[in-house]
């Protein structure tokens, strides 16, 4: 769908400037005149012959779309999305049946836009779901609110990468939702919170806090809680604690402070121990919904309205840091200045310069690219050091994109990369290192909060090192050891799995499972192959049939082009059975490649727009905590175009997401 650029500008400007929706009669859109009758006629004459309830080509029955009542959000939204996508990409109807005329396409796109993208001809942000803290966010937030350390020290992990923190072993991990991320509001909202486990985690954290003088100084302003407390002192402690824990305006903090003071009184009458009772009340606060959920006050308005300053501070902080806002951010939220563009931008800038931004790599990138599996799934275990090192190569790579404000396309191909320290020992590795001062700064940046200060060399784990890539192989994340391992089984590579991974994850193409596949034996006979064909020959069987070629001409060259990487990412020229590897190939556009670098360059040439759009879409879904919907299109396309104008920078994508109406506004049903 082609969204008019100036339209986006108007939309954004209006949202950002006044926040209230005024009817803009001058807004002329093709879709305003779209008619259901026209769209239905096109579907009926051009699609139904293959996709009726009996033929159901590819398992798709489009007859429900002929009902006007199905053109609104509900049971058939997905079907409409799919149909519109195929039509707008020009993939359906197939060329041999005659492509759609421009006017036919416009009829479907226009009706779709009017029904699903816009509402009453206006863009909107969709109903905002309530968000609960994930386990990862809970642990970070407890650390920050209580000023204690709960995670194991980073550098001390060679011997026990599987060792979980206490919080992680008490609280179950979260189930990712439709968005692909575990911070998915709809998934978290549809499941009961594991309250018993969360209570145990909070209890553990509070015990830590109680034993920690520095923490108490930071949170309450005293090293130790006196034996006797006056009412004012109690209220002061509770207020200070609530201000950190509840991410809210002073008024609400005041209201809650009074409520929790009553709880304190009730408890202390029985316990006769004011310290104990105070800790007890702190525990209540950290188990309360105001802490565990990101409560936003409703205005009961189904047109978008801006969230309050402290709500925006909270959204921003959980997006970039996966934790509660710090003092500065919350202050700017409470006094309202965060609602100004310039302040908001400078806060994004500040936050991306803070070590806490590592959350984007640890949570967003690790889930999107799936490399968290290296630490969480025992089956991908090579050895403790290897798993930690290869995980860190990608973690640091992603973080470097933000640190050095690099392009999204560097994810595919870059002239720099991170190499694990163990691969750089000795003189012959041949990498050009970045001056060590820079790396020291980087470690201090990234690891400052995780250092355990151990100076025993043997116990220390050395993080990966930034180097210039040296040959035609490395660069980007696709060819990293982590991804090569994740897309292979332990003993063999699977070119199809790797090709599909690249298309799904990096380019954002969803592929349908193939219909009846011939057996390898049959295919071998059909192709008159010998009994032990090479991998490339076997793969070619896939494209021997017309129904397969459509997907496999895109999948296969990508997978075969990566065959030089063994399951652990090590470069190889022969298979274990000594057969030589043929990794050259031809992309769907007919361009040939010889090396992985060339292949990755062609990937960028062919799929540049898709790669950028996919990155922005995933990051936006992560930021909003929900799967993107058609009504997000206007915003998505506007962000993508801003990002492309600015050299496809990762940080521009982050900033544009934060500035978008989806991120700053709220809407009720």
Partner 1 sequence: MRRKSYVIPRRTLLKGAGVSLALPLLDIMSGNAVSGKDADRPPVRLCVLYKGCGVNPHSWDIVGGSETNFEMSRILQPLAAVQDDILVLGNLDNQGSSDHMDAPGTFMSATKHKDPDRYSFDQRVADRIGHETPIKSMQLTADNVWKQHPWLNILSYDRNNQPLRGQHDPQAVFNEMFRDNVRSGRQDDLLSVLDGVKDASSSLARKVSVRDKRVLDSYFDSVRDVEKSIQQNRQNSRASGFDKQLASIDPSLKVGNLGERIKAMLDLITLAFWTDSTRVVSCMLANTNSRSHYDFMGVNAEFHYVSHHVRNKQVLPDYDKINIWHTGQLRYLIERLKSISDGDGTLFDNSLILWGSGIKHGDYHSLTDLPLVVTGGGGGKIELGRHVRYPQAQPYANLLLTLMQIMGTDIPGIGDSTEPLSGITEKANFTPSNPDDGSWKIVKSDNETLTAKGLLRISLDAEVEYYQLRLSDNSDLEIRIPYMNNHKLRFDRCVGKVVTVTGKYKEEAGRKVVTALTKAELQTP
Interacting residues toward partner 1 by CB under 8 A: 127, 129-130, 132, 169, 172-173, 175-176, 180, 182, 189-196, 199-200, 203, 255-256, 259-260, 262-263, 266-267, 280-281, 283-284, 287-290, 292-293, 295-298, 300, 367, 370, 372-373, 376-379, 489-492, 517-521, 525, 668-669
Least distance CB 496 / partner 1 (angstroms):
12
Least distance CB 451 / partner 1 (angstroms):
27
Which CB sits closer to partner 1, 112 or 391?
Answer: 391
Helices (H) and strands (E) in the chain, counts: 30, 9
Which CB sits closer to partner 1, 132 or 406?
Answer: 132
Which CB sits closer to partner 1, 49 or 489?
Answer: 489
Q: Give backbone dihedrals phi and psi of 158, rounded to 5 degrees, phi first.
A: -60, -40
Least distance CB 25 / partner 1 (angstroms):
30
203-209: long-range contacts (C-beta < 8 A, 24 or more apart)? Answer: 203/283, 204/166, 204/167, 204/170, 205/142, 205/146, 205/148, 205/150, 205/167, 205/286, 206/146, 206/279, 206/282, 206/283, 206/286, 208/146, 208/148, 208/150, 209/146, 209/147, 209/148, 209/279, 209/282
User: Taking Cα atoms as reference points, which of 309, 189, 130, 303 lies closest to residue 668?
Assistant: 303
Q: Which residue has the tokens 């950002």?
A: 16
Least distance CB 150 / partner 1 (angstroms):
17
Within a 13 Å sphere around the CA of 226, how many CA atoms are in the beta-carbon half? 8
Which CB sits closer to partner 1, 7 or 381?
Answer: 381
Which CB sits closer to partner 1, 155 or 542?
Answer: 542
Which CB sits closer to partner 1, 7 or 204?
Answer: 204
Least distance CB 4 / partner 1 (angstroms):
32
Which CB sits closer to partner 1, 87 or 286?
Answer: 286
Contact indicator for 475, 393 with CB cutoff of 8 Å = no
Contact indicator for 653, 615 with CB cutoff of 8 Å = yes
Which CB sits closer to partner 1, 283 or 449?
Answer: 283
User: Taking Cα atoms as reference points, which of 351, 375, 353 lies closest to residue 362?
Assistant: 375
Least distance CB 549 / partner 1 (angstroms):
18
DSSP assignment of 493-505 equals B-HHHHHHHIIII
Least distance CB 519 / partner 1 (angstroms):
4
Least distance CB 448 / partner 1 (angstroms):
28
Which CB sits closer to partner 1, 73 or 293?
Answer: 293
Q: Distance (Å, rounded) from C-alpha 297 to C-alpha 89?
A: 41
Which CB sits closer to partner 1, 170 or 324?
Answer: 170
DSSP assignment of 377-443 equals -GGG-S-HHHHHHHHHHHHHHHHHHHHTT-BGGGGT--SEEEE-GGGG-SSTT-PEEPPHHHHHHHH
Residue 426 burial class via C-beta count within 10 angstroms: exposed 0-12, middle 13-18, buried 19 and up: exposed
Q: Distance (Å, rounded) from C-alpha 80 to C-alpha 478?
A: 33
User: Taking Cα atoms as reference points, which of 187, 184, 142, 191 lies closest to residue 165?
Assistant: 142
Least distance CB 373 / partner 1 (angstroms):
6
Q: Distance (Å, rounded) from C-alpha 478 to C-alpha 371?
A: 11
Q: Would you state the structure tokens that stand for residue 266, as one six-digit string? A: 């009730």
Query: How many residues comprise the chain?
Result: 669
Least distance CB 195 / partner 1 (angstroms):
4
Handedness of CA 348, 352, 357, 363 (dihedral sign): positive
Least distance CB 69 / partner 1 (angstroms):
22
Least distance CB 200 / partner 1 (angstroms):
6
Q: Distance (Å, rounded) from C-alpha 372 to C-alpha 26?
A: 49
Which CB sits closer to partner 1, 39 or 238?
Answer: 238
260: left (phi over 0), alpha (psi -120 to 50) or beta: alpha
Which CB sits closer to partner 1, 177 or 463?
Answer: 177
Least distance CB 432 / partner 1 (angstroms):
36
Contact indicator for 184, 626 with CB cutoff of 8 Å = yes
107: left (phi over 0), alpha (psi -120 to 50) or beta: alpha
Which CB sits closer to partner 1, 136 or 416?
Answer: 136
């Amino acid at each position: 769908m082609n969204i008019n650029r100036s339209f986006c500008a108007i939309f954004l400007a209006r949202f950002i400037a006044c926040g209230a929706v005024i009817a803009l009669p001058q807004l002329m859109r093709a879709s305003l005149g779209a008619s259901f009758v026209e769209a239905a006629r096109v579907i009926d004459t051009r699609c139904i012959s293959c996709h009726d309830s009996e033929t159901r080509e590819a398992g798709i029955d489009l007859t429900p779309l002929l009902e006007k009542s199905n053109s609104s959000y509900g049971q058939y939204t997905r079907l409409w999305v799919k149909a519109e996508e195929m039509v707008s990409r020009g993939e359906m109807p197939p060329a041999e049946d005659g492509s759609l005329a421009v006017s036919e396409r416009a009829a479907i796109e226009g009706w779709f836009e009017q029904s699903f993208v816009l509402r009453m001809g206006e863009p909107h942000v969709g109903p905002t779901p309530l968000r609960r803290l994930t386990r990862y966010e809970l642990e970070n937030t407890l650390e920050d609110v209580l000023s204690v350390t709960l995670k194991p020290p980073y550098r001390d992990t060679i011997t026990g990468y599987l060792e979980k923190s206490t919080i992680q072993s008490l609280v179950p991990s979260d189930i990712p939702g439709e968005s692909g991320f575990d911070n998915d509001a709809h998934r978290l909202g549809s499941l009961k919170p594991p309250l018993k486990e969360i209570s145990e985690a909070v209890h553990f954290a509070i015990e830590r806090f109680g034993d920690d003088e520095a923490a108490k100084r930071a949170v309450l302003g005293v090293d130790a809680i006196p034996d006797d407390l006056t009412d004012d002192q109690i209220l002061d402690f509770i207020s200070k604690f609530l201000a950190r824990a509840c991410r809210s305006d002073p008024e609400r903090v005041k209201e809650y402070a009074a409520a929790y003071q009553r709880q304190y009184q009730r408890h202390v009458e029985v316990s006769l121990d004011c310290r104990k009772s105070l800790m007890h009340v702190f525990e209540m606060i950290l188990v309360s919904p105001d802490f565990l959920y990101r409560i936003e006050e409703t205005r009961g308005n189904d047109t978008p309205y801006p969230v309050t300053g402290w709500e925006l501070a909270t959204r921003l902080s959980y997006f970039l840091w996966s934790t509660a806002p710090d003092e500065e951010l919350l202050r700017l939220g409470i006094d309202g200045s965060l609602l100004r563009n310039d302040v908001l931008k400078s806060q994004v800038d500040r936050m991306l310069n803070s070590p806490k931004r590592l959350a984007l790599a640890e949570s967003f990138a690790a889930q999107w690219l799936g490399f968290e599996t290296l630490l969480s799934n025992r089956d991908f275990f090579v050895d403790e050091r290897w798993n930690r090192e290869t995980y860190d190569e990608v973690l640091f790579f992603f973080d470097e994109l933000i640190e050095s404000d690099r392009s999204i396309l560097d994810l595919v191909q870059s002239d720099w990369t991170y190499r694990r320290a163990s691969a750089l020992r000795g003189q012959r590795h041949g990498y050009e290192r970045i001056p060590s001062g820079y790396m020291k700064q980087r470690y201090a940046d990234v690891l400052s909060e995780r250092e355990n200060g151990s100076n025993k060399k043997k116990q220390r784990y050395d993080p990966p090192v930034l180097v210039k890539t040296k040959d035609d192989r490395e660069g980007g994340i696709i060819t990293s050891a982590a991804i090569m391992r994740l897309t292979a089984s332990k003993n063999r590579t699977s070119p199809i799995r790797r090709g599909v991974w690249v298309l799904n994850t990096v380019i954002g193409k969803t592929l349908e499972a193939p219909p009846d596949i011939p057996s390898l034996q049959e295919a071998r006979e059909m192709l008159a192959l010998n009994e032990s064909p090479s991998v490339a020959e076997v793969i070619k069987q896939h494209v021997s049939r017309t129904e397969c070629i459509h997907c496999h001409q895109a999948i296969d060259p990508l997978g075969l082009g990566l065959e030089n990487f063994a399951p652990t990412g090590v470069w190889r020229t022969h298979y274990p059975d000594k057969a030589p590897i043929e990794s050259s190939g031809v992309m769907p556009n007919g361009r040939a490649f010889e090396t992985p670098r060339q292949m990755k360059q062609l990937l960028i040439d062919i799929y540049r727009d898709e790669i950028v759009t996919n990155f922005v879409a995933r990051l936006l879904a992560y930021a909003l905590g929900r799967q993107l919907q058609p009504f997000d299109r206007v915003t998505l396309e506007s962000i993508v175009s801003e990002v492309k104008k600015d050299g496809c920078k990762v940080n521009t994508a982050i900033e544009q997401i934060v500035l978008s109406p989806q991120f700053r506004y709220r809407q009720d049903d």
